[in-house]
Amino acid sequence: MRLDIDRVWAMPNKNTFSIPPIEKFILEELIPGLTIDPFANVSKIADVTNDLDPEYDTDYHLDALEFLKRFDTESVDTLLFDPPYTPRQLSECYTKLGRSVTFKDTDASFWSSIKDEAQRIIKPGGKVLSFGWNSQGIGKTRGFKLERVLLVCHGGQHNDTICVSERKVQSRL
């Protein structure tokens, strides 16, 4: 499989999926079937949406891990994965909801648990589209193959957004 690396410029926006090149990336990478988004915010791209904040019009208002656990093994075709990437972003979200951030919320094992659930629920041949400041994605060790990377440069002192498309090639390792 060929790995495409594209670099485009776009203005930053806290609603990642509304940034034109990122929205285009998603629409090009989606595959037919069930699409879910555990960190939807205002996005309506996915068939089933979740956001911890009840202010957002989503199907569920659960912790992302609990949301992912609701799905049967190998039942999801595409997962949109755009979590808060820094303890500061997480803290802002939790503070708004009257919650405090604990070590558990920022520990690497928490994010590993979410990625393990993603591995469990994605069908073989399904995709995870990840967005953030690194290209780590779900990963080869969980049976995913990197297919495409889009680098969205926001200019100035803004971090780039790295968009990663991975396909699940194995059920169990």
Question: Does residue 124 lie in a domain region?
Answer: yes
Question: Does residue 97 lie in a domain region?
Answer: yes
CA distance 115 to 118: 5
Token pair for residue 91? 């803290």
* Number of domains making up the chain: 1
CA distance 133 to 94: 21
Question: Does residue 57 lie in a domain region?
Answer: no
* Long-range contacts from 55-59, C-beta under 8 angstroms, 24+ separation: none
pLDDT, greater one: 4 or 77:
77
CA distance 122 to 68: 10
Burial class for 72, CB neighbours closer than 10 Å (0-12, 13-18, 19+)? exposed
Q: What is the pLDDT of residue 89?
A: 59
Residue 145: other Cβ atoms inside 10 A: 13
Burial 18-29 (b: 16+ CB within 10 A, else e): ebebbbebbeeb
Question: Does residue 50 lie in a domain region?
Answer: no
Phi, psi of 161 (to 5 degrees): -105, 125
Question: Does residue 39 lie in a domain region?
Answer: no
Q: What is the pLDDT of residue 103?
A: 55
Question: Does residue 122 lie in a domain region?
Answer: yes
Question: Does residue 119 lie in a domain region?
Answer: yes
pLDDT at 129 over 60: yes
What average pLDDT does the structure give for the chain? 86
Structural domain of residue 135, as residue ranges? 4-34+63-168
Average pLDDT, stretch 112-140?
93
Q: 37-86, pLDDT tens digit by residue?
A: 999 999 999 999 999 899 999 999 999 999 999 999 999 999 999 987 65
Q: Is 103 helix (H, G, I), strand (E, B) or coil?
A: helix
Residue type (1 letter), 98: G
Residue 69's CATH number = 3.40.50
Question: Does residue 17 lie in a domain region?
Answer: yes
